[in-house]
Structure 1
Amino acid sequence: KLAELDKFRLEQKLSQAEDALLKAELELKDVLIGQGYTPDDFSKVPVETMKIAKVKSGYEQSKSQYELAKRETEHATLTAPFDGVVANLFSKPYNPANTSEVFCTILDTKGMEAEFTVLENELAFIKKGDKVTVIPYAGGSSFEGSVSEVNPLVDTNGMVKVKADVNGEGKLFSGMNVRVSVRRNLGEQLVIPKTAVVLRSGKQVVFTLKEGRAMWNYVHTGLENATEYVVSDKSRKGVEDGLLEGDTVIVTGNLNLAHEAEVNVR
């Protein structure tokens, strides 16, 4: 229970409506008995006759007023529809009720929803059920979730809205700014840090370490995330430029390296 109106007037109104309904029921019985029916025969009264009898006795009107009073009394108590945390509660005890304004907001901080946008050309990489990692800009832990909805509309900026259900563990706040990473399982791939890739004459090059020397390797990069590239695998048929599983890759100090230059490992 979140709040409750003063029920004195409502309870009195409900009591009066209940008395009026009982009187109307007696009047209805009197009307039916006056037409030759006994209390045991009320269930056999024709529909049209019963309808006229209810109008004469005022039964339908009394019943309607009773149900209205009962509903108003029940709705005088405001209850939370689910477990959560109360936010934006500014009313005080004994304040007049303002039915034109929201009383408060209930937040389910365990089942939060992250909303973010992706570029139109990245839409093919995202599908419902993909795993996501959410990291608040305010710092703290990361939280796991999954894509729950992809809005089928591209806006004027070429962006698509995506939503993900996130287990906030009670530590996330509504409206918080977060960084969202979407993960897809692509099977076994050769993956290297982005810092390992340098450009030489417009081509992508990765230096590997062999017997204390830097070895020049042309590569082709594929999918990427914020820190890593998927690179071509020379062990696969028809692939000439790339790396092999187990190669030692030079990831720093490689901007000015030359082929077979001596290097020191730190």
Structure 2
Amino acid sequence: TYVLQQANLEQLQTGPTDADIKAAKAAITGANAAYAAAQQQANAQPDQLVIAQSNLDKSAEALRIAQWAYDNMLTTWFLKDYAPNSPQAQALTNAQTDYNVAQADYNLKKSSINSSSVSAAYAQLTQAQANLAKLEAGPTGPQLKAARAQVEQARIALDIARANVAKATLTAPFAGVVSAVNVKAGEPANGALPAVVLVDTSVFHIDVTVDEVDVARIALGQLLTVTLDALPGETFSGKVDRVAPTATVNGGVVSYAVRLVLEPVDAPLRSGMSATADIVVAEAKGVVLVPNWAIRRDRDTGQVLVSLLKDGKLLEAPVTLGLRNESLSEVKSGVIAGDVVGISTLREALNLFGGG
């Protein structure tokens, strides 16, 4: 860490303390004692190996005799059935165990003679002496340079760690309401979900899909009206805020994502409410409107006809249409405001009206 590397550099620059020198000298004393003990043990090892060899030879002879006695029972026809549970079988098992123990002890003694315990103890003594000499001589130029480099590396690592901590802190990009938290302390984060879902309650928007046939008529800034199932009877205004530049194909149907932004209101709007939006793609004022159910197109002539009610009779008059929606059509010529349209059952009649 940065603090540790900085402390190491400061220690090199200030030099060893009296306690450091005393500790180094104590290490030399301990290494000397360990070296002497290793030499003494090495000198005693040949005698221990002779004893281990003698024990191994004795156990081997005892095993041979026990094996002979057991085999002799197996070759005697009236004793062989009792051989597995006989005293001779138990003696053979004990002799085998004693032999295994003697063999292991011999191998251990033999390997210890060839070990490097003396060399290792001498190396520790040499290292302790070198450490004392190093402390008394003080740090070299390369050592100080290396220590400073380690401090710089630790500082860079600390800066990176601080930056990562800052990145791990979630900061809201705008003021809003937290609607969902998809992370828990101590659990891995799910990369497929946002950690926190934040709703901007100051501005509500609606994401809709528009068929490729109609998307050419959609433009940024177009006005619209919105109705909500949760707030019947209320109408809200807005405008087109975004039209996707690329299409989405689903089941062979090509459509485009369009975002509609509502104007701020005091109504109790909530995220996720079902909405219906009507976009004003064209506008005409002071026109005559006719309900679509009173209009038909003649299949033979192609004329557009409107059913008019005059003197209690239905007549069809050719008209020229303008703008239209799902319920009404603009009539540019052929009828005037005040004409009455009807249907063949004479159950329904509507007065044409101006404006719209």
TM-score (norm 1): 0.59
User: In the TM superposition, what are the counterparts of 1:1-266 in structure 2 within 5 Å?
Assistant: 17=2, 19-20=3-4, 56-71=148-163, 73-74=165-166, 77-89=169-181, 96-101=185-190, 102-140=194-232, 141-151=234-244, 152-153=246-247, 155=249, 156-167=252-263, 169=265, 171-188=268-285, 190-195=287-292, 197-199=294-296, 202=299, 203-206=303-306, 216-233=316-333, 242-244=334-336, 247-251=337-341, 254-256=342-344
Number of aligned residue pairs? 209
State how far apart, in whole Å, the 2-side matches of 1:21 and 1:212 are.
105
Give 1:255 shift: 0.5
Q: 3-state SS of the aligned residue for 2:216?
A: helix
Q: Percent identity?
A: 22
Considering fraction of residues, name the structure with more strand. Answer: 1
Give 1:243 shift: 2.9
State how far apart, in whole Å, the 2-side matches of 1:177 and 1:264 are.
32
Give 1:217 shift: 2.8
State how far apart, in whole Å, the 1-side matches of 2:178 and 2:160 are.
30
Cα pair distance change 1:192/1:111, threshold 3 Å: same
Give 1:158 shift: 3.7
Cα pair distance change 1:60/1:126, threshold 3 Å: same
Which stretch of structure 1 is more off in the superposition, 117-126 or 183-192? 183-192
Structure 1: 5+ residue stretches without partners:
1-15, 31-51, 234-241
State how far apart, in whole Å, the 2-side matches of 1:188 and 1:54 are.
84
Q: 3-state SS of the aligned residue for 2:154?
A: helix
Residues 196 and 207 of structure 1 are in contact (CA less than 8 Å); yes or no, is this contact kept in structure 2? no
Q: 3-state SS of the aligned residue for 1:192?
A: strand
Give 1:224 shift: 1.3
Counterpart code for 2:289:
I
State how far apart, in whole Å, the 2-side matches of 1:166 and 1:61 are.
53
Considering fraction of residues, name the structure with more helix. Answer: 2
Residues 247 and 254 of structure 2 are in contact (CA less than 8 Å); yes or no, is this contact kept in structure 1? no
State how far apart, in whole Å, the 1-side matches of 2:182 and 2:186 are.
12
State how far apart, in whole Å, the 2-side matches of 1:219 and 1:112 are.
42
Structure 2: 5+ residue stretches without partners:
15-143, 352-356
CA RMSD in angstroms, aligned pairs only: 4.1
State how far apart, in whole Å, the 2-side matches of 1:180 and 1:162 are.
11
State how far apart, in whole Å, the 2-side matches of 1:24 and 1:162 are.
62
State how far apart, in whole Å, the 1-side matches of 2:345 and 2:308 are.
11
